[in-house]
Amino acid sequence: MQMDTGVCVLHLFCSPTATVDRAALTSAITDATSADCQVITAAMLGHKADIGVMAISSDMAVLHSLQINIQRAGLNIRDSYLSITEVSEYAKGLPDEALRDRLYPQLPPEGKPAFCFYPMSKRREGHANWYATPFDQRTEMMMEHGKSGRAFAGKIVQLVTASTGLDSHEWGVTLFGISLEIIKDVVYTMRFDKGSAIYGEFGDFFVGYLAPIDDLV
């Protein structure tokens, strides 16, 4: 099943079983890559997972095959997240190249080995209902949020993907940074933006560093 516009982004957070087959795991990733799927692997830190796999493709069948094949190779998927690329309603007026990068990202960026993923939603409570807030006010808050992020240009590459109706939150946020300290700094800085401080709700954070799959099992 193909996407009409943009691509699907599948995050899989895994741990190896005692019977993991390195050759089969490498083959699963090679097969996906040969089918025009970007596959990014990372060493994850903490108890939630040991290996992160981020796969990007316009063909959902390719993502499904990768998901099945890495399990057959001996990885246990402990958590996952599905989202798609989009151009936000607040992104009107961006250059065509910037819009293309949001819909069809080419990852990972060079020189940014630190990796972080987390899901987020906008709050819908009586005193802080994002969806009942006028569009011009939401736009102003998103502009503030974007300005905070641009202060880290050259140090962070961010991919925000949409997941309303697809997973447990409304967006997935993937960060590639020059260091874990920079990832911490950008997340902390943006927490003070009104759109985040009042309306942001966040899921679990998955953090690690990029590494080839052969180094992870």
Label residues 51-79 b or e (16+ Cβ within 10 Å = b): bbbbbbbbbbebbebbbebbeebbbeeee
- The kind and range of the H/E element at 189 are helix 180-191
CA neighbor of 49 nearest in space, from 176, 204, 158: 204
List, in sequence order, the alpha helices (H) in 35-95.
60-72
* 209 tagged catalytic: no
Torsion of CA 74, 77, 78, 82, to 10 degrees: 170
Candidates 81, 90, 118, 131; catalytic one: 118
Catalytic residues: 118
